[in-house]
Amino acid sequence: MSTADATADQVLEDAHGHHDDGVTEDAHFGKATGGKIAMWMFIAQDGMSFGGLLLAYGLLRIFSTDWPVPAEILGITLTATATFILICSSVSMVMAVEAAKEQNQAGTVRWLMVTILGGLSFLGIQYYEYTHLVAEGITFATSTWHGEPINNLFGSTFYAVTGFHGLHVTAGVIYLMCILKGAMAGKYTKGGMSYSPVELVGLFWHFVDLVWILVFTFIYLL
């Protein structure tokens, strides 16, 4: 190929925003893949959903004159343990992404498994907490504590916010299992395959972890 032909090919590549790495470059998003842009858009709108729930919870609590003290009803120590587990799972997710970048199949599989285990542990603790609270009289429609009625909105808002997050953790665990299946087959770490799917599930999982810190602060600690 002549120098003129090579120059012409380079001009065409630059004009269409393509480079040797096969990733489309956009003037506004740089080399972000379409999947990453879509995930950020999803996270942005999903964050608004959580924001709306927490705002509604805050307003109901502010204007209520008989709101119970969460620390006297909710298991702060148990939930703090669940929070710590979820934060650790975020760290293991980072390790999984790094392993995928390095084309390390064994490391990717191992750290994805650790992340999934963390998510399942969190859901197990949440299930235990729910069953305990229901047994004590805290339900979605009505709320009693030690046989005494309390503000019914306490149970309604608690289950609405934490349950919505629990659904996200459940979806995240299923998502991680799907990615794990691909990782075990070497889909993201062999033959130059892209590790983007591992990175995308990592973005979602970090979002779920970050939201829980806000939920834990608003619902349990304040």
Q: What are the boundaries of each domain within the chain? A: 1-31, 33-221
Superfamily of domain 33-221: Cytochrome c oxidase, subunit III, four-helix bundle (1.20.120.80)
Q: Which residues contact 207 (CB under 8 A, 6 or more apart)?
A: 43, 46, 47
pLDDT score of 34:
74
Q: What is the mean pLDDT of each run of 10 residues along the chain (222 residues)?
A: 44 41 45 77 90 90 85 87 94 93 90 96 94 88 82 88 94 95 85 78 94 91 82
Name which of 82, 57, 79, 43 is nearest 172 in CA terms.
43
Summarize pLDDT for 97-129 with one digit per residue, the tens: 999 888 888 999 999 999 999 999 999 999 999
Q: Give pTM, 2 decimals.
A: 0.80
